[in-house]
Structure 1
Amino acid sequence: MQPNTGLDIRPLTPADRSAWDPLWKAYLDFYDHVLAPDVTDLTWSRFIDPAEPMGALGAWSDGALTGICHHVLHRSTWAAGTYCYLEDLFTAPEARGTGVGRALIEATAVAAREAGAEKLYWQTHQDNASARALYDRVARHEGFLVYERPLT
């Protein structure tokens, strides 16, 4: 596929919910994760609440939402300012390889910088070779492993 230069990257608005839902579901399916509908609703409400330290960007091409990217701003014990965690990044299968993922990462970096964040970081599964190929071009892997312990 050719790079998509006609992308419109912008924050998602309440009117974008119906376009976001299928990509969110596809992202959860990709990671074989089931999420309760009320958690999805809460997540969406956080994206559109200006008091929340969360944001959602969308990549639009020819009027269709082709990618989504969610981020969280948070304090750090290692910095006076904030960090930005890119929590979710998903490109519709038919738009992969067209620059959507890279454009969303770059737009998230701009949003993070404008919010005063000192660092943008994210994680992915070690087996996600296509995503890692992109990530290796736009960032560096610091060698850390992620451990997770459910608390419920």
Structure 2
Amino acid sequence: MDIRPIRADEVPVLIDDLWLPFADEMRGIDERDSLAEEVDVRTEAIDYRRAQLDDEDVQTFVAVEDGVLAGYTTVTYSEGPSVFARGPRAKIKDLYVAPENRGAGFGTELLERAHEWGRERDCESAALTVHARNETARQCYEAMDYETRYVKMDRPL
């Protein structure tokens, strides 16, 4: 397994083989996570990911096994508001491992690399959001010493 930053030529593969299946799994957990039907989601996702390649405060890492993208995570640098006594955070935006690679440590290795990236930028903590019904992901994060500090609530209007 190799964990490394994504290359520009891999962005379409990331979208097709990992991000779209991830989005489909999230829709299965909560219909409110369904992708829009009125836009070309694939093209917009590729454009969005390519734009991130030039942003030094965003990094997408991929797990590669036998030349194939097996999983990915995206991490961003986030300054703490000046009114709080806390430093910058590494925010984990996505983490996904293809089903056939789960249980082999890919998710853990991707998160560890994201943590390392944050430490390199003097972040004092890592933060992420996970769906309340995503028990598998929650167990993974808790095993890596993430703790619930806030509960996000919403409702339809």
User: Structure 1 length as normaliser, TM-score?
Assistant: 0.84
Cα distance in 1 for partners of 2:24, 2:120 equals: 32
Cα distance in 1 for partners of 2:154, 2:90 equals: 19
Cα distance in 2 for partners of 1:9, 1:124 equals: 22
- Structure 1 gap ranges (5+): 1-6
Partner of 1:134: 140
The partner residue of 1:72 within 65, 76, 84 is 76
Q: Kindly provide the CA deviation profile for residues 92-137 of structure 1, in whole angstroms up to 9, marking residues without a partner as x.
A: 0000111010000000000111122111111111111111111111
For the aligned residue pairs, the C-alpha RMSD in angstroms reads 2.0
- Report the identity percentage: 26
Give the letter aligned to residue 59 of structure 1. A
- Structure 2 gap ranges (5+): 28-33
Cα distance in 1 for partners of 2:78, 2:5 equals: 19
CA 1:113–1:148: 2 relative to 1, 3 Å: farther
CA 1:143–1:75: 2 relative to 1, 3 Å: closer
Give yes or no for contact 2:78–2:89 (8 Å, CA) kept in 1: yes
| Correspondences of 1:2-151 after superposition (within 5 Å) | 7-21=1-15, 22-32=17-27, 33-34=34-35, 36-49=41-54, 51-77=55-81, 78-79=84-85, 81-147=87-153
User: Structure 2 length as normaliser, TM-score?
Assistant: 0.81
